[in-house]
Structure 1
Amino acid sequence: MTPLIFLPGMMCDARLFGPQINALSGRRPVMMFPLSGHDSVQTMANDILKHAPPDFALAGLSMGGIVAMEVLRQAPERVSRLALLDTNPLAENPEVKARRAPQMAAVRDGNLRSVMRDEMKPNYLADGPNRGAILDLCMAMANGLGPDVFLRQSQALMDRPDQSMTLRAYTGNALVLCGREDKLCPVERHQMMHDLLRHSALEVIEGAGHLPTLEQPQKTTAALIRWLEDT
């Protein structure tokens, strides 16, 4: 059975995929690679490839999707299936890049919690009964990873390459999935990725924002199972 590798979003750990790991680990080997040790997506991807199985299914959310695309660029023959969740194949927009410098300065001054609380977390989720608990989990993940990881990941996102040609060249089975209410990576961006990939399904999850793995775990897991089992 082909192993499945999950790559998490910025300032997230394996808990981002907790419901999916619980549901899928009885079906196939499941792994999660952290994205905490390097300040470039190229180095992150290279490190994953050093430790990953010879071939694998790859699913990344947000920053994890960005790194997944770089893994695909470096070793397309090893990625048997690709799932891109709430992510962006383009290089960083100059306006977004300009906002990162003050965020990084605030984190260097000891204000990681306030940056996460005031500038990042409010953009993550759709309204729903579990919003508060999910935001608390996001804060716990961020605090656990700490300011140095925030700075490395911010630098990596600022300097990331455009991966449109990487997606256009991929011939494997792909899933493009996002929450309907994702403000960071809107549905239109996922339609573009769907159009670039030769063999992809587009799934838009109702009642979810940027983190459908936690906001709508059953719907997201069902979509992943269809992707993994589709022949």
Structure 2
Amino acid sequence: MTPTVLVPGMLCDADLWSDLPELPGEVVHAEITEPTIGGMAEQVLSSVDGEFSLVGLSLGAIVGFEVLRRAPERVRAFGALSTNAGAPRPEQLAAWERQAAGDFDEVVAEIGPAMFAEPSSPLRERFLGMAKRIGPEVFRDQLAAQATRVAAYDAVAAYPGPVRVLCGDRDALCPTGFHEDIVNRAARGRLHVLSGAGHLLPLERPAVVGALIRRLLERGEA
């Protein structure tokens, strides 16, 4: 079986995936620390040799779209969680600029409630722990990278492999419509909407997310 590369979202690390049931085969945790989406895509491509399956959440999936653009022949299957294939909107660019200039701890505390279906979720401490490990320097690079992204619908449409898209119906950052736009353009796409879940699906719904990813990896099913 080909290896699976897991790509976390902004301010997240490998702990994002740690509650998932064991996935088949080799699992590689990619870092995304470059200040451009292209640079992050190269980090993912250099994390493993040859063909692989790719699963990314939020910014990790955005990087995945760029991987599909650059090297679709290397990606056996693609899982996109809680994400957006569109270009940045003006209000997003303004928010990222404000966050980059703000106090790191205050910005992280502001972002935390939007990560979960319930703003007061006890899982917020897990997110805050990841954010602290990522730190302000990498966070600023991730914000800079977000501003370099472009619409990825063409890369999704050109990719011939299976694309499994997961989202929560209570995601305040990436609503269901963003994910419908991805699936509608994929040659072999399928959308799974998780009821009552927010943005960080692997923490909120690890068993369901793990089972859906496993089916993608083992059977190549969208």
Paired residue for 2:135? 146
Distance in 2 separating the partners of 1:146 and 1:127: 24
Q: Does 1:205 align with 2:201?
A: no
Deviation at 1:158, TM superposition (A): 1.1
Deviations 1:46-95 (A, max 9, x none): 13212322000000000000001111111000001000000111111111
Structure 2: gaps spanning 5 or more residues = none
Map residues 138-217 of structure 1 onto 2, 5 A cutoff. Answer: 138-217=127-206
Q: Does 1:127 align with 2:118?
A: yes
Aligned counterpart in structure 2 of residue 65 of structure 1, from 57, 61, 64: 61
Deviation at 1:178, TM superposition (A): 0.6
Distance in 2 separating the partners of 1:50 and 1:212: 26
Paired residue for 2:5? 5
Structure 1: gaps spanning 5 or more residues = none
Map residues 44-83 of structure 1 onto 2, 5 A cutoff. Answer: 44-83=40-79
Deviation at 1:181, TM superposition (A): 0.6
CA contact (8 A) 1:113 1:139 kept: no
Distance in 2 separating the partners of 1:153 and 1:126: 24
CA contact (8 A) 2:32 2:43 kept: no
Equivalent position amino acid for 1:49 in 2: L
Q: Does 1:89 align with 2:85?
A: yes
Distance in 1 separating the partners of 2:168 and 2:157: 23
* Cα RMSD after superposing both structures: 1.3
Distance in 1 separating the partners of 2:113 and 2:61: 21
Deviations 1:9-39 (A, max 9, x none): 001000001122x521xx2101110112x10
Deviation at 1:196, TM superposition (A): 0.6
Distance in 2 separating the partners of 1:73 and 1:217: 29
**TM-score for the superposition, normalised by structure 1:** 0.92
Aligned counterpart in structure 1 of residue 105 of structure 2, from 113, 117, 124: 113
Deviation at 1:127, TM superposition (A): 2.3
Instruction: Give the structure with the higher percent helix.
Output: 1
Deviation at 1:104, TM superposition (A): 0.8
Aligned counterpart in structure 2 of residue 41 of structure 1, from 15, 37, 48: 37
Paired residue for 2:19? 19
Deviations 1:91-134 (A, max 9, x none): 1111111111121111xxxx21110112x112110129x921x1
Deviations 1:151-173 (A, max 9, x none): 00000001111111000101101
Distance in 2 separating the partners of 1:82 and 1:23: 18
Tell me the SS of whatever aligns to 1:200.
strand
Tell me the SS of whatever aligns to 1:5.
strand
Distance in 2 separating the partners of 1:143 and 1:165: 35
Instruction: Find runs of 4+ consecutive structure 1 residues off by over 2 angstroms.
Output: none
Deviation at 1:227, TM superposition (A): 1.4
Aligned counterpart in structure 1 of residue 26 of structure 2, from 7, 29, 36: 29
Distance in 1 separating the partners of 2:219 and 2:44: 25
- Counting aligned pairs with the same residue, the percent is 36
Q: How many residues align?
A: 220
Distance in 1 separating the partners of 2:167 and 2:196: 11
